[in-house]
Amino acid sequence: MRKTNLCSLLLVLLLAACSTTTKKENTTDTSPFKNRPQWVQEAFKTFEGHADNMLVDVLKTGKTPRSTERGLKPSRDWTSGFYPGSLWYLYEYTGNQEWAKKAQQATELLDKEQYNTDDHDVGFRVYCSYGNGWLLTNNEQYKKVIIQAAKSLCTRYNKKTKTIMSWNPNEKRDWKYPVIIDNMMNLELIYEAYKLSGDESFKDIALEHANQTMKYHYRKDYSCPHVVDYDPETGNFRKMDWNNGFCDPKVAAWSRGQSWGLYGFTLMFRETKDPKYLDFAEHIASFLLNNPNMPKDYIPFWDYASPKNPSMRDASAAAIMASGFLELSQYSQNNKEKYFQVAESILKTLSSSDYLAQVGTNKNFAIKHTTGNYMGGSEVNGSLSYGDYYYVEAMVRYLKLINNQPLYQ
């Protein structure tokens, strides 16, 4: 009896030890971020739940999410790169190879977009997906896709206007060569292609586009309309116009557009170290932070100048702005703490129940109260894939900074 009891006791202890070992293995912390505030951990857990639930439909349909209003769209949609990019950020946050596999599956749905020359959005499609994948894995195939996508994007460059045409000419809108402020974001793809290939023409195009945007797209107060049109024959500036934001291009300051500019000129300083881009980004920052119509929580209205429904928020503009401010805080000599604190405040607000949807709700999108095109009545006060993307990007950037890690190697 004693021998039997002893054997039983040893067996129980052995099973308990195995159970403890298994538990430790299942909860191994693979994240590179050891300093993770509780609110950040909870927000990422929620974001992971949404992303995982969304993946089921993505793999079933071969499409990626655009918005709560429009659902999933094929790879040619301008938003197709944001969901794969979000998965890459989850891999970066967790260090878990399962997220890398999921990100790879979603990214490769966009393979043909490297050859897309129909509009400027190849930058959003390819750099947010393949670009993030390249930075995290050094996958040689991703490198080839980035270079090819940049070649496709640069087919839309005009030597006379010295810009990349965003959309094709439109007689009804009297657009001969429309360029939108969003196009600044695509310069990241072109610059990466330059660094990977050594082709100087990529760098030249990025510089010229940024310089022309500084010259013609901005007003004296460093606000901008959505659209500027050029004459492709002479290269001359024709007019400011709108497609998003308020319909008066003389005063419109579409909030997401202002965030695109802040982010875009900040990345141009990162790539060139030319102080004129840093100075320009800080002027845009000043316009935003000193704007009398900026809410106290820094979640901007859909347009800073609109008299129409000024209470309608756009959380996607806030997410982009937060990400831009976090990077700008690393370059600014005088406003480092201010930019960081504003970004941190935005992220805490977006991570609250007012803006971050519970898992299993909101059609598996994370950030609520985003506005696509208010005047167009499209995707108003819903959720947008790019709102989710720039939120998780900003969260990863925030973790890097509080863990004393560089934003870029």
Q: Which residues are catalytic?
A: 121, 182
- CB-count burial class (<10 Å; 0-12, 13-18, 19+) for 148: middle
Query: Is 269 within 8 Å of 281 (Cβ atoms)?
Result: yes
CA of 226: how far to CAs of 73, 160, 165, 250, 259, in Å?
Answer: 24, 21, 13, 11, 11
Residues 382 and 316: their CA atoms lie apart, in Å, by 10
Give the count of alpha carbons within 13 A of 148, CB side only: 15
Residue 38 C-alpha from the chain's centroid = 24
Residues 157 and 208: their CA atoms lie apart, in Å, by 10
Which two structure tokens, joined as six digits, stand for 19? 């159970």
Residues 287 and 401: their CA atoms lie apart, in Å, by 25
Residue keyed to tokens 């007689």: 171
**Sequence-distant (≥ 6) Cβ neighbours of residue 237 within 8 angstroms:** 216, 228, 230
